[in-house]
Structure formats: structure tokens, C-alpha cells
């Protein structure tokens, strides 16, 4: 088989850049421990309460003042634990005023779950052993259904919560 000189040059260029990029990726992943930013924090999935944010009294909506909120959630098949209300009933809806900044912190005690307030740019994979967090501002009033978008078992489709942003 005859290869034209320029064809050879470009083949070598193409293959070597591929090898170079793979090497950079491997260096980052295996030697530098690079991983997705949202999974920077580790946690013991069998004892999430050891982490202050996931103690029962800190679950759900925490008003930090000045329009800043922290929402702590423990995901498990097939529920988002947002704490309990004054009547000891599980909370399923979070209400915040328009323009609020919310930091979501979510972890899982069993399998991989998803966390996606539908119609927003918040879309996280929730893995046992990690705290997935994302901060965003809610400027558009409305009712957002928070859905689990990672198949997590037989009750996957029933796993949801609600976020209400009011005027
Ligand atoms: Cu949890 Cu799907």
C-alpha cells in the first residue's frame, strides 16, 4: 500500500495528538486525582449523619439570611429526605422567594440517584460516598418538580420532590 507523504505526516500528527491527549487525561485522573468538581467532598454513605449538613435537624431548607439558602438532601431508594415539618410529617416541598440563591447539597445512602429540578440548569448525579453540590439563583417564579433522572430501581419513577419559587 502506498501512502502519500502528506498523508503519512497527517496520520502521525493525528495519532500522536490522540496519544498525547489520552496521556494528559490519564495523568490527571490517576496521578492528580482529578474528578468532577461537584463530587469534591467525600462522605461515609453508611453514616451520613456524621456530616453536619445531613443531621436530621439540618435536612431540607436552611435560611442563611440575605436571600441565601442551603438545601440538604439525603437521597435513597426511592425518596428525597428533606427532613420533617412541625407535625413530624416528611417534607416534600421547598418554598423560596424569587431571586433566592440556593446551595443544594445532596448525598445518597444506597445507589446512584439523580437530582434535577426540571426546567433548570441544576442536574446532578448523586453517588453514595460523595456530596454533590451546586449553587444557583432562582429568578423565575414557578413550581419545579425535582426528579431523579438516574434509574435507581423499581420505584425510580416515584422519586420526586417539589421546589416552589414564589413572587
Ligand atoms: Cu432515584 Cu431514580
Q: Which atom of ligand 1 is nearest to the CA of 156?
A: 2
Binding site membership of 148 for ligand 1 (Cβ less than 6 Å): yes
pLDDT of residue 104: 96
Under the banding of pLDDT at 50, 70 and 90, the label for residue 36 is low
Taking a C-beta distance cutoff of 8 angstroms, is the pair 78, 156 a contact? yes
Region label for 65, one of left (φ > 0), alpha (ψ between -120 and 50) or beta (otherwise): left
pLDDT of residue 3: 86
Taking a C-beta distance cutoff of 8 angstroms, is the pair 73, 59 a contact? yes
Beta bridge partners of 106: 73, 132
Peptide bond into 47 cis (omega under 30): no
For 52-93, write each residue's pLDDT tens digit.
Answer: 999 999 999 999 999 999 999 999 999 999 999 989 999 999
pLDDT of residue 96: 95
Q: Which atom of ligand 1 is nearest to the CA of 155?
A: 2
Ligand 1 centroid from CA 134, angstroms: 18
For ligand 1, atom 1, the nearest C-alpha belongs to 113
d(CA 163, CA 167): 13
Q: Which atom of ligand 1 is nearest to the CA of 148?
A: 2
Q: Any residues with CB less than 8 A from the CB of 58 and at least 6 apart, and which?
A: 52, 72, 83
- Is a pLDDT exceeding 80 seen at residue 33? no
Binding site membership of 157 for ligand 1 (Cβ less than 6 Å): no
d(CA 47, CA 41): 15
pTM of the predicted model over 0.75: yes
Amino acid at each position: 500500500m502506498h501512502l502519500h507523504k502528506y498523508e503519512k505526516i497527517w496520520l502521525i500528527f493525528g495519532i500522536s495528538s490522540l496519544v498525547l491527549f489520552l496521556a494528559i487525561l490519564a495523568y490527571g485522573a490517576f496521578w492528580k486525582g482529578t474528578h468532577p468538581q461537584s463530587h469534591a467532598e467525600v462522605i461515609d454513605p453508611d453514616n451520613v449523619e456524621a456530616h453536619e449538613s445531613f443531621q436530621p435537624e439540618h435536612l431540607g431548607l436552611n435560611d442563611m439570611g440575605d436571600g441565601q439558602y442551603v438545601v440538604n438532601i439525603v437521597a435513597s431508594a426511592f425518596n428525597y429526605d428533606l427532613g420533617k415539618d412541625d407535625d413530624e410529617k416528611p417534607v416534600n416541598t421547598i418554598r423560596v422567594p424569587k431571586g433566592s440563591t440556593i446551595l443544594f447539597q445532596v448525598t445518597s445512602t444506597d445507589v446512584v440517584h439523580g437530582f434535577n429540578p426540571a426546567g433548570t440548569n441544576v442536574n446532578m448525579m448523586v453517588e453514595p460516598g460523595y456530596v454533590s453540590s451546586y449553587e444557583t439563583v432562582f429568578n423565575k417564579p414557578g413550581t419545579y418538580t425535582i426528579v431523579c433522572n438516574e434509574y435507581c430501581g423499581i420505584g425510580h419513577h416515584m422519586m420526586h420532590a417539589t421546589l416552589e419559587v414564589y413572587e
